[in-house]
Structure 1
Amino acid sequence: MKVAVMGAGAVGCYYGGMLARAGHDVVLIGRSQHVEAIERDGLRLETQSFDERVGAPHLRASADASAVASAQLVLFCVKSTDTVSAGESIAPHLQADALVLTLQNGVDNADRLRTAITQEVAAAVVYVASEMAGPGHVRHNGRGELVIEPSPSSETVAHALISAGVPTEVSANVRGALWAKLILNCAYNALSAISQLPYGRLVQGVGVRDAMRDVVAECKAVAQADGVTLPPDVDAAVRRIAETMQEQYSSTAQDLARGKRSEIDHLNGFVVQRGEALGVATPANRLLHTIVKLVEDKAHGAI
């Protein structure tokens, strides 16, 4: 299979690297510093079970969106804030029969991407702990499962991913799964970012678990009001994150540590927005969203 990864950061490099390692032809489209390192030395794929370099002939890198041109599968891994603009950048180059799989935080990326491209789009829920440890170096800290929205190509893609060592499920309730992942992100991301602590240490803080319960309860109330069918084990899944990803910093924490804008508007901010529209109060989510926005604005000289 010919695969392109649009937005080859920690998530894209992990899944793209796993597919290339299994023999698929993969191009990683990302920032120039990573592209140069990968083209020179290959991608260093450091996981819990192996540490290898993956490169030619199965893996290459590019900084140009046109590199999606021959791909049958596009793993769309850009930040939620960039969904529409990145979709517009690849639209002229996509094959007519390409499947674009959104591996992103948030619940509405697939719908927003469909406004920018005409090709088939399927949402995916991502459960992976990974980080860019340096140029061309992705470190996998745990998990790695995907839940994919049904489409004519989803079963074929799922088989390829499973064969590459990526646990993958095709589910008819991806909306519920996306909301379940959103709830996990709302519980952990902002608190990890504000404290700059990994999940395992974060939950040891005074009052943290109680605060998380408040955040989760609000998210569940908004989801119910929005007609979302959540999986039955959301609360257990929230508790399990701190056990299975003890050393992981949230993507929001990583963004703030690098002085970058985060996806907080599409996480706690999205819950606040939907809560306002549906008449559901979300004070805990509003406070976390406000604090992260303050930190971002200060770092960028906006206040």
Structure 2
Amino acid sequence: MADADRTIVIAGAGSVGCYAGGCLMLAGRRVILLARLRIEAALRGGMLVTDLDGRGRSIPPDAISITTDPATALREADVILVTVKSGATQDMAALIGAHARPGAAVVSLQNGVDNADRLRGDLPGRTVLAGMVPFNVVQSGGGVVPLRVHRASGGMAMIEAGDAGLVGLLNVTGFAVEAHADIKAVLWGKLLMNLNNALVALADLPLASELADRRWRLILASQIDEALTAMKASGIEPARVAGLRPALLPTVLRLPDWLFRLLARRMLAIDPQARSSMWDDLHHRRPTEIGDLQGAILRLAQKTGTPTPIIRRVTALVDRAESDKRGAPGLTPDAVSGDPRSG
């Protein structure tokens, strides 16, 4: 089947889903967005797709196919890109199982390391591939017309090797995709960087401002040290995701600010307003993905007897903020590390 004839369903069209779907639409792909009512309403004025490379491309409302009805979307799907939060994976699997054709390929483009496995477990006999999106997407606030989805950092999306035609279908301008032979290692590598999502949420700071402050980087470096120790004890070798070998990340993060800015330009190539999805969840009083990010390391550590005091503390603080439902708490680095000497 030619690319133009294959229907791609974005199952959970939030920020990342709308950005990927928008790029695919602009490349002439047939795309259906399965979204919540809020996104459906926001897209009545069209979509503006922008990125760090300076592109700004508009999609008129009548060129956007969107529905809130899972049956309507999924029964048309040849490829399903799952972009829901980790906590909704099993619910989405149930919808796919109920409404999608057995031959539809399912690709998880979610945070965490276990979502593709969960989808496979709930969708036996179907083609399910893991994938990874490395960049942040910022969505315009309520009432902005057209809805703007902005890729706020760089990087290439990756999917599990095994279907060359799928890479050709998905690899389009603004949303570069390549296959990787060891996608599990890629997911563990991304998880190391995603440990920072919680710090951005707790700090209530833009990602670029938080990373530019060594006090916050020291906490991230400690988390990554703990994660690497737990991974090594479990026989896991994470892949390089942020341009550096994973073992070097803590050393680079601990550099003085001036030297970090000099050596980590790629890591700091971020839109000044970009935050993290976990910040967005706290801001909107939604459940976070802490259990699938820091939680994945805590589960490894429990099996191997590896100490993870910083990750445990960060997890507890996010859990508290989530329970309080007051948004991002705006904590200081000292409050998060528990050590007044951390700076």
TM-score by length of 2: 0.81
Residue 184 in 1 paired to residue 189 in 2?
no
User: Residues 246 and 44 (structure 1 numbering): CA distance in 2 closer, same or farther, change over 3 Å?
Assistant: closer
> 1:58: how far off?
5.1
Letter in 1 for 2:295: G
Q: Residue 149 of structure 1 is aligned with which of 137, 140, 160?
A: 160
1:222-301 alignment to 2 at 5 Å?
222-231=230-239, 233-234=245-246, 240=264, 242-247=267-272, 248-299=274-325
Distance (whole Å) between structure 1 residues aligned to residue 135 and residue 174 of structure 2: 13
Whether the 8 Å CA contact 1:23–1:58 is kept in 2: the answer is no
User: Within 2, Cα distance between the matches of 1:236 and 1:27?
Assistant: 41
| Alpha carbons 2:110, 2:133 under 8 Å: kept | yes
Q: 173-182 or 82-91: which moved more?
A: 82-91
* Preserved CA contact (<8 Å) 1:175 1:228: no
Q: Which portions of structure 1, spanning 4 or more consecutive aligned residues, are displaced by more than 6 angstroms?
A: none
Residues in 2 aligned to 1:14 and 1:60: alpha-carbon distance in whole angstroms: 14
**Cα displacement (A) at 1:84:** 0.6
Partners of 1:19 and 1:243 lie apart in 2 by: 27
For structure 1, which runs of at least 5 residues remain unmatched after alignment?
none
Aligned-partner Cα distance in 1 for 2:55–2:248:
30
Query: Is 1:139 the counterpart of 2:146 in the alignment?
Result: no
The alpha carbon displacement at 1:99 in A equals: 0.9
Deviation for aligned residue 1:161: 2.5
User: In the alignment, what sits opposite 1:216?
Assistant: 224
The higher radius of gyration belongs to 2
CA distance in 1 between partners of 2:236 and 2:225 (Å): 14
Choose from 97, 108, 112 the match for 2:114: 108
Distance in 1, Cα, partners of 2:95 & 2:81: 14
Match of 1:127 in 2: 134
State how far apart, in whole Å, the 2-side matches of 1:204 and 1:44 are. Answer: 29
Q: How many residues align?
A: 296
Q: Contact conserved, 2:45 with 2:61, CA < 8 A, in 1? A: no
Q: Which has the higher strand share?
A: 1
Q: Which amino acid aligns with 2:268?
A: E
Distance 2:294 2:239 in 1: 19
Identity among equivalent pairs (%): 28
CA contact (8 A) 1:101 1:122 kept: yes
Q: How much has 1:144 moved relative to structure 2? A: 4.6
2:184 to 175, 184, 189: 175
> In angstroms, what is the RMSD of aligned CA positions?
2.0
1:62 and 2:67 correspond? yes
| One-letter identity of the residue aligned with 2:31 | V
SS at match of 2:136: strand
Aligned residue for 1:131, secondary structure, equals strand
Checking the alignment, whether the CA contact within 8 Å between 1:197 and 1:249 is kept in structure 2 is yes
Q: Secondary structure at the match of 1:128?
A: coil
Q: Which residue of 1 aligns with 2:339?
A: none
Deviation, 1:298, is 1.1
